[in-house]
Amino acid sequence: MKNKEKYAREIVETAINGRHIAFDKTNNRVVPCNSILCADCLFHREESCLLATEAWANAEYKEPRQFTVREKAFINLFPEIQYIAREKGGKLIAYLEKPSKNKKLGWWLCGISPYSFFEIRLGDFLQFESIQWEDEEPTSREEILEGQKMNNDELKKDILSIVKGAMLEADELPFIETTEYIADALIAGGLKFDTVVSHEEILGSKEKDGD
């Protein structure tokens, strides 16, 4: 079933009223284009909203996956991460560009640089259970952050949990006086996380050597 079939009723009702359709990412609903902010619309693109709408309408419908607030907060901390995928062996990998799935090797291929992907090693703190090896496509940051609306208090609470987990999981994390101080600094600095703790200390760098 395609999206245009799943949402046929909403599309027709909107068209009858002479309006273009939009898709509200905050609650996964088809709505009139002028009823929501552009930033909240799935079709919002600099190049062409209409082309994005057409592509969505003809794409296969997929039940929206659920991601925890903690998982969304983690992605917010690292704007470089564009995709996340799970290897056949269970390892969770973050990618700076879109990888392609290699079923024979049991992992996803992405560029030639060892710095274009990282293994996420935060144990039970970040499981991303919705992301599995069986997925045909990697999961984009847009899909993970879809519908996210958090205030600073909520964000601080989840950043605090992530940083605490990182301190417990990382092998060589330098001494930090309090994790609350880090959370305040992250929010005040626009969440530029690498100015406080380096990526290498939170994410385990990974090189593919064929093992």
How far, in Å, CA of 25 to CA of 146, rounded? 6
Residue with tokens 């990998």: 93
Structure tokens at 61: 């419908």
Question: pLDDT of the chain along its 211 residues, tens only?
Answer: 999 999 999 999 998 888 899 998 877 889 999 999 988 888 887 678 889 899 999 998 887 788 888 888 888 888 889 999 999 999 999 999 989 999 999 999 887 676 788 888 877 778 899 899 998 889 988 888 875 555 556 666 666 666 666 555 444 444 444 555 555 555 554 544 333 334 444 444 444 444 4
Q: What global pTM score does this model have?
A: 0.53
Domain extent listing, the chain? 3-58, 66-211
Alpha-carbon Rg for the chain, nearest whole angstrom, is 19
